[in-house]
Structure 1
Amino acid sequence: MKYLSTLSTLTASALAANVSTVHQFSNGTWLENIAAMQNGSLLVSTIGVAQVHIVHPQTSPATFSTIATFPNATGAFGITEFKKNVFAVIVSRSAPEYRPTLQKYSLWKLDLSQKEKTTKVSMMAELPDMAMPNGMATLNQETLLLADSWYGNIAAFNIKTGKTGVVLEDPSLAANFSAPGLQLGANGIKVHDDYVYYTNTAQAIAGRVRVHPSTGKPFGFFETVRDSTLTGPDDISIAKDDTHYA
């Protein structure tokens, strides 16, 4: 029950925190996901124009530049570091009619490990078995976890083999196609202390499940919490003091 009480104080903690603008993008920019580098810089993915930007909060004012633009694509989604200064990012390119089930998705690598050199951008794999991969987290150096917001499950991607397979399925991950507004299921995802934490947008819940650290398969029960102030949760983050933000 500790998890439930922790999440129940999430909203109050967030409201009490001091919030400030790090960098202002131009109006109309759809910022989708963010990943922090070990040096404090931030990688930010965007939808509409499929790009990843790097923001340097260390300078005053903060500076930014575009480090990746993906060809023939409509958006960049979840982004996660799986090796020091090497990141994976989900990229979509739409079919003629825009619907999540008609999108085509792929996984790309951004290598920022070489200082003072341009980012190396390369495709890791197509994701033909996923309808709408959205949030993503690193389980270990060989495995990434991808939340499919349309199919309502979480899949594991093997970096070495390029193969993807569903490892987590539960009603708390499912989409709700009768819900008003966004009908997306599993959305934001993080890995922390052998637990996978996630949000479900349509169900307005946050949850977690203990998983096997090698495979990502469930090693315990799914726990969920619904807060009356938690409306359409998107991403989730966990601070060093174990505070959860959604």
Structure 2
Amino acid sequence: MPRLPHLVGTTTAAVALGLLATAPASASEPPLSRPRIVAHFDLAAGQSPENIAVEPDGSADITFASARQVAHVTRDGDTRIIATLPEEPNPDTPVLKAATAFGIARAHDGTLYVDYATGTGKTGVWRIGPDGGTPRQIAQLPATAIPNGLALDERHGVLYAADSAQGAVWRIPQAGGTPAVWAKDPALDPVPVTGAGFGANGIKVHGGAVWVTNSDQGTLLRIPVRGNGGAGAVETRATGLAAIDDFTFADPHGDTVLAALIGDNEVVAVRPDGTRTVALTRADGLSNPTSLAVRGRTVYVDSAAYFTQQDPNLLTATLDPRDAG
């Protein structure tokens, strides 16, 4: 969720107040330990990390929202830019009015897929080869879309993009081609007037379903994938998650979610029974966390500093074995 230059003050406060947590808190210990900031980024250069994909060696590929870049960060924090999305001289992105790089997904061969929102014909999904190089657009989405979170289902050769502006999930052939609206439901919509203008946001494929967060509505949703590939009915799995951004699963075989609450500077663990635990806070180094990823017992958290305007960074922490499965 990029910084909203016209909405940071009163509207942001209203969103936070309107999405107060309602689920019971857990009395158990936080599931994350040993937080460590791996890399600090340059806010003035537009290096607000928006989304993350982890490499097999434990390094990370992240999108820098305002800089329109994809960066590779080693486990030691060394950072290099591997690709820059094309400049858009006349951006008209809904809500933001700026060209913005959003979600990223990685294929097993190292190919990267990135969401790009510009309010023009460049809006859509872009592919970056395993060796980097010039990004190539493989699917065009409407100029009125904000493709935010991005998930790859390699088994079926499709990508899913969460559209924050239009309250939809798009399905796109991994090889490229014409996108189709896969799911459209009021549960995916942004909230008019009182919201920040961001509905469907984070997205993951997990356990035979596509899971989506809604930032304005503060919800975690599950959409079953039917046998024919179509979308089942939207299920609400958690509510009261104030300004939730991206999320990940603590265990590939379970439904415990680690979620980034961008306004509260928190990462929370949300368990299938509805209980939740605050796992990381600003005291641990968070600065408006936007996205998470898990590899083994290591959890990666991007902080974009959209509202704090201090210390965008990449943080890692260790997952409790009870939650890692």
**SS at 1:236 equivalent:** strand
TM-superposed CA distance for 1:214, in Å, is 6.4
Q: How does 1:1-246 map to 2 (within 5 A)?
A: 16-28=32-44, 29-57=47-75, 59=76, 62-73=77-88, 74-94=99-119, 104-112=122-130, 114=131, 118-119=132-133, 121-128=135-142, 131-141=145-155, 142-160=157-175, 162-180=177-195, 182-212=196-226, 215=229, 217-219=230-232, 221-227=234-240, 230-240=241-251, 242=254, 243-246=256-259
Determine the C-alpha separation between the residues in 2 that align with 1:236 and 1:41.
19
Determine the C-alpha separation between the residues in 1 that align with 2:104 and 2:41.
19
Which string of whole-angstrom CA distances, capped at 9 and with x for unpartnered residues, describes residues 67-98 of structure 1? 00122142211111234211110123356xxx
The gaps in structure 1 that reach 5 residues or longer are: 1-6, 96-102
Determine the C-alpha separation between the residues in 2 that align with 1:18 and 1:48.
30
**SS at 2:245 equivalent:** coil
**TM superposition score normalised by structure 2:** 0.61
Which string of whole-angstrom CA distances, capped at 9 and with x for unpartnered residues, describes residues 13-60 of structure 1? 767543221111123432111111122111110122110000011x3x
The gaps in structure 2 that reach 5 residues or longer are: 1-22, 89-98, 260-325
Determine the C-alpha separation between the residues in 1 that align with 2:234 and 2:209.
11
TM-superposed CA distance for 1:104, in Å, is 4.7
- Name the CA shift for 1:111/1:9 in 2 (closer, same or farther; >3 Å): farther
- Name the CA shift for 1:14/1:167 in 2 (closer, same or farther; >3 Å): farther
Counterpart amino acid of residue 222 in structure 1 = E
- Name the CA shift for 1:233/1:119 in 2 (closer, same or farther; >3 Å): same
**SS at 2:187 equivalent:** helix
TM-superposed CA distance for 1:224, in Å, is 3.0
- Name the CA shift for 1:218/1:11 in 2 (closer, same or farther; >3 Å): farther
Counterpart amino acid of residue 36 in structure 2 = S
**SS at 1:21 equivalent:** strand
Q: How many residues align?
A: 222
- Name the CA shift for 1:136/1:8 in 2 (closer, same or farther; >3 Å): farther
Determine the C-alpha separation between the residues in 1 that align with 2:123 and 2:210.
23
Which string of whole-angstrom CA distances, capped at 9 and with x for unpartnered residues, describes residues 72-130 of structure 1? 142211111234211110123356xxxxxxx8503211122x5xxx5453221322376
**SS at 1:146 equivalent:** strand
8 A contact 1:14–1:245 mirrored in 2: no
- Name the CA shift for 1:66/1:232 in 2 (closer, same or farther; >3 Å): same
Determine the C-alpha separation between the residues in 2 that align with 1:10 and 1:213.
36
**TM superposition score normalised by structure 1:** 0.79
Determine the C-alpha separation between the residues in 1 that align with 2:211 and 2:193.
25
**SS at 1:235 equivalent:** strand
**SS at 1:85 equivalent:** coil
8 A contact 2:127–2:135 mirrored in 1: yes
Determine the C-alpha separation between the residues in 2 that align with 1:143 and 1:32.
22
Identity of aligned residues (%): 27
Counterpart amino acid of residue 197 in structure 1 = W
Which string of whole-angstrom CA distances, capped at 9 and with x for unpartnered residues, describes residues 203-240 of structure 1? 1111212213763x22455233113xx21001111123
Determine the C-alpha separation between the residues in 1 that align with 2:181 and 2:112.
21
8 A contact 2:122–2:137 mirrored in 1: no
Counterpart amino acid of residue 92 in structure 1 = A
Structure with more contact order per residue of length (Cα contacts < 8 Å, sep ≥ 6): 2
- Name the CA shift for 1:71/1:129 in 2 (closer, same or farther; >3 Å): closer
